[in-house]
Chains A and B, each alone.
Chain A
């Protein structure tokens, strides 16, 4: 477990060094190299841990309580967290290297801040996957949320970035409310936060089943917020306001998959409540389809990828809900690699062209062939083409859903797989093969080696993972033979349609759009969800706040103002009684005494 501690401790140490040592923070490039060095060692240790056979749990008491500690902390290393260690350290390392070139125009102190956040994020994400208790997981869960907020709002002087950061924070916080409520209810029902103890109770059927459905639904809410499931998915497209490497790391490969990881981790508890599992599967499939339709009409290259991420997260959730969480987890890992590849490739394109709009690109294949190859590798993997990584994980998910007997979910996911191939190749054809669009003054060129290196490494990994499964077989999964054919047919269909519409231009875009006018109209407006949330916010929340404000301003303050003004007026009026002449006072005394005498007489004689 010592090497695990090293994996966890190095990013923390690099964060503390960059954050606390001012000269280092002011020199962003040096801070970057500190972070990268820490991540190289951490990656080496993570690989060693993953390949090694050491698995186990270390638990230390944390909060004292009657009869044993109330809460514990520790490290949990198993077959779920070990591959996550490698994924997180690998993508973190590559993104940190890539950022050094991508953000070369940033002022140095600002870059130092960036690397402090990056190191903190790596530490938090590693802590999250290594958590052996729900409580510790929640702490790291919030930490990655904080890092996400800080990095989306990295260019905080841009109002759009600041708004997007807030939106991401609050939307995920809505789910986190459910998460914390769920784990506290779980604790009050069982008296423990520890996964091991909870799963043992689940195995031995001593877990109180009453109220468990509510608890697991609340925990799923947290996962839905983080993993951008409908209806909490609205924050992820906006999160693209952050720097592109951040999107690759946090909003594609690692943090957004934390929700899937949570569901996979809690699987022994979720299987006890089939109703919640069915909900997870259906919401996942619906999210996948919804996001895919939005990706088909989007013209911002990063937003296409963001919708694609939501869609793929829907795939993973659907698998987890359909009783195949290992397939979902497998897709999580492969998706982490090739989606990071796609985002970094998109970053290279944006870097070269200076715009996010795919319709202002075009013909980039001639000037950036390397980036083109890399991007197409990622696209093929995402579309699920044999023998790349995405093919096997997507097939595993479809097989798992089919085996779980959810045919409705299966059909939706199959349709989504078709759309996935379509919208990705749409981007490829418009960006790299479309012709004749002017680029303005920008002169597109291949990115520097610091960006190309991570890209090539991820591309090679995407191919290598795929080949490993193509040669070595699918492990314990034996999907039915027709499934592979179906997957390929769907991918080929999507590719063909995209080629016919945007490559060869056989089919005019209008001809496809017109029959689907309703969906097109809705998808272009994000199904009005943002508008609805905005209306709820402005109408209900702001209205309520205004009402409270009016009550405070006019009723509470008004009452106090009347009291104080009345006192002032009365004082002003009574002031005039004080004439300052002693004789007037004697008048008062004399007539007062007289009055008292009369009164006393009057009382005595009834």
Chain B
């Protein structure tokens, strides 16, 4: 008896438990109410189905959530990741064919399946610029002592302007087919994006859990001053977190532009920062910083994506879908609150006592 209670407590204290429980509930709901939700088909050696779709579309919020987790662990926030997606997408696509942004290309030039920059180079440039965007945020926060929300708001607003400048105000369409692979390709039968998420997750996990960086991130988030007194370079830790967050947003930008085969400075990654923050919150990391779990954040991102996809599958109108999504989030966040949990516990206890009383009476 004691044994089982102990293990339940350990389960309950595990950060991954709650998001996984919520995800399981959502899947259960779909199993009952959404016909064909779990159907998987193999077409041309590739796996297709709603679940695969969720994982594929969920890759962008998942990647953002990984970077955002580190930032939030330090007690900060990054509102600019949506804008960095646009910068990354515009940088990569404009390098494929700069004529689309500057010159007046002929119809033939516009649609040719070539690239002016080698694929590896344009990916590298886009990612370096994204990481620099993150580093800029990190400098403002750590060296400028500007509050994270204000500091990243600057790039959130300015970033789309920068993206506009990169593409000269044009919407760039991509005709270079190898580029499509990033966001649409399949490897070993499953979407290539899954491998990207896995790789970035592993990278982040190695950085935070196999070095002291994870401990320092949490330490800075719990108490920046006490960390400084303990000899931790809390400014460099913050700089690192924001830089990595920008890097993750850069990868998300590549996936996005590859997925829709174009880059639109005004709409690429719009509002994705909110999903990323939400995913981290669902993953149980406190907004005030401290303890974090990368895996829980990723599961949080999948919860959000599953909710969205479920709405579409059930044919909920797009406008109402947002409200329903809010409701799901509200319920989950309430489940996380100790007070609400105690309240629910008391309700159950009360009901139990009432039933027992009735049992005695009869």
A binds B: no
Residues of B within 8 A of A (CB): none
